[in-house]
Amino acid sequence: MNTTLKIAMAQMAPVWLDKTATIDKIENSIKEAAKNQCELIVFGEALLPGYPFWLALTGGAEWNTTLNKEIYAHYVNNSICIEKGDLDSICELAKAHSIAIYLGIMERPLDRGGHSIYASLVYINEKGEVKSVHRKLQPTYDERLTWAPGDGNGLQVHPLKAFTVGGLNCWENWMPLPRTALYGQGENLHIAVWPGSDHNTKDITRFIARESRSFVVSVSSLMNKNDFPKETPHLDAILKNAPETLTNGGSCIAGPDGEWIVAPVLHKEGLIIQDIDFNRVLEERQNFDPVGHYSRPDVTKLIVNRERQTTVEIK
């Protein structure tokens, strides 16, 4: 088996809270990655259709305001309902070009009623099949004002050539037990998606790689003040307190020894392409394997509930 894998990190800005236009950008990136013979492309957290920046800029915790209600409604209207086919064109591209995809979306799932949204990480395999949808377990700080907490259903790994790939959203990567849930299923290529900025990626990427003796690919988005579309509800209020740069990227790759293969890339939009070799995993597992020879399951063991949570069970 060919042990190398060619990865594209798509560091880009969304067309903020515009589902259709952002899908167009994503599809163009997939086509470009395919032209470069990439076998996996990764996009940042909540890229489709964008991160809820307004919460920190407009008093997102204020109760019962027109501003918060109207922006939330706009956000939900531009979020992704997989069951209604919102990702079908992306899946078709994956199949046509035999490229696997990790994509951060705001999911509007029908199994939770269709009105709440979840920061979900979707894995689409090279056959164009959605194989897992991981809803972020614990939204962070002000994210909880607009994102619902997920469940363990998406704590899954997937075969990709010689690799076993899994992924987590943003600060979930700081949670030891979800990481362990993926390690224990054989993960050796860890995908960490972020809304952006090297303050998130510069430490944890290398730490996870060294802890797991796996490759770690961290992919972030970009967002500048001029990236907010003019049609955004309450745009003046959002821009009033917005800095020129909201997220600066910081996408990067660490090897199984915890050293940089690609150091954090800042302020650059486009594809960052890198080949990785599975044999490096085996080399570093020789002296440490957190769920293999350097574990004691007779002393400590993790229990994972992967049941998809729903409010109504119809029999």
Own/partner contacts of 177-180, CB < 8 Å, gap of 24 or more, are 177/302, 178/137, 179/208, 179/211, 179/212, 180/290, 180/291, 180/302
19, 38, 39, 45: the active-site residue: 45
Sign, CA dihedral 284-295-169-310, equals positive
Query: Is 45 part of the annotated catalytic residue set?
Result: yes
Query: What does the alpha-carbon distance between residue 291 and residue 6 come to, in Å, rounded to a whole number?
Result: 26
User: How many helices (H) and strands (E) are present in the chain, helices listed first?
Assistant: 8, 13
298 HSE (CA, 13 A, CB side): 1
Q: Which residues contact 60 (CB under 8 A, 6 or more apart)?
A: 52, 54, 68, 142, 145, 146
Torsions phi, psi of 129, nearest 5?
-100, 135
**Residue 130 corresponds to which amino acid?**
V
Is 248 in contact with 222 (CB distance < 8 Å)?
yes
Q: Which of 19, 25, 136, 161 is catalytic?
A: 136
DSSP string, 122-181: EEE-TTS-EEEEEE-SS--GGGGGT-----GGG---EEETTEEEEEEEGGGGG-HHHHHH
Q: How far is CA 71 from the centre of its chain?
A: 23
Q: How many CA atoms lie within 13 Å of 96's alpha carbon, on the beta-carbon side?
A: 12
Q: Among 10, 78, 41, 13, which residue's Cα sits nearest to residue 247?
A: 13
Tokens, residue 53 = 């920046």
Q: Which residue of the set 25, 38, 161, 170 is catalytic? A: 170
- What is the residue whose two structure tokens read 């998406």? 154
What are the catalytic residues? 45, 136, 170
